[in-house]
Amino acid sequence: MTNAVCESKNKSWVTFESCRLHALQRNKTILNLFATFLQPTNSITLRLQVQKRANGFKPWVIDINFDVCQFLKSKKNKVAKVVYDLFKDFSNINHSCPFMGKQVISGFYPTVDKLPHVMPTGDYVLLMTWKFYEKIQFVTNVYFTFIEDF
């Protein structure tokens, strides 16, 4: 991971205490993200995009919208499941809706066995736009470099 950017678009719903990368070793960086949902929400929609850098960041294979509350009940969206499986062991975001209070991702680092094996070497960004009741509340963007290792 090379950068993490979190931005609340509505501070009466979501605030961020921390959204930082921390280098543990030369090749291992962890993400700590602490957000507080100030109002309970039962309606969360996520737009999940992966973009690859090539003269600026360009759309890549993934650009999906899905209902987070429905996903957390069924886990049927395959693309969302890949991203969720990366984060779930480092997070308290592991229950069904409603969500309120502190939401934590602590000490997150991606493990190779959970990453898709079809990604070519390059610089990427994972763009996540979060909507509550169809209104954008916050965005989280995580930049990373992926290197194929045969």
Provide the greatest CA pair distance for the chain. 48
Q: Model's pTM, two decimal places?
A: 0.90
In this structure, the number of other CB atoms found within 10 A of the CB of residue 81 comes to 14
Supply the DSSP string of 105-143, one letter for each residue: EEEE---GGGS-TTPPSEEEEEEEEEEETTEEEEEEEEE
pLDDT for position 114: 73
pLDDT for position 54: 86
Instruction: Domain 3-146: give its CATH code.
Output: 2.70.220.10
pLDDT for position 10: 96
pLDDT for position 150: 57
Phi, then psi, of 101 in degrees rounded to 5: 85, -155
What is the pLDDT tens value at each position of the chain, 150 positions in all?
Answer: 999 999 999 999 999 999 999 999 888 899 999 999 999 999 999 999 989 998 888 887 789 999 999 999 999 998 899 889 989 999 998 889 999 999 999 999 987 777 766 678 889 999 999 999 999 999 999 999 888 775
Q: Which two tokens stand for residue 83?
A: 């991203």
Peptide bond connecting 40 to the previous residue in cis, omega within 30 degrees of 0: no
Q: In what order do the strands lie in the sheet with 135-146?
A: 3-8, 135-146, 122-132, 44-53, 57-67
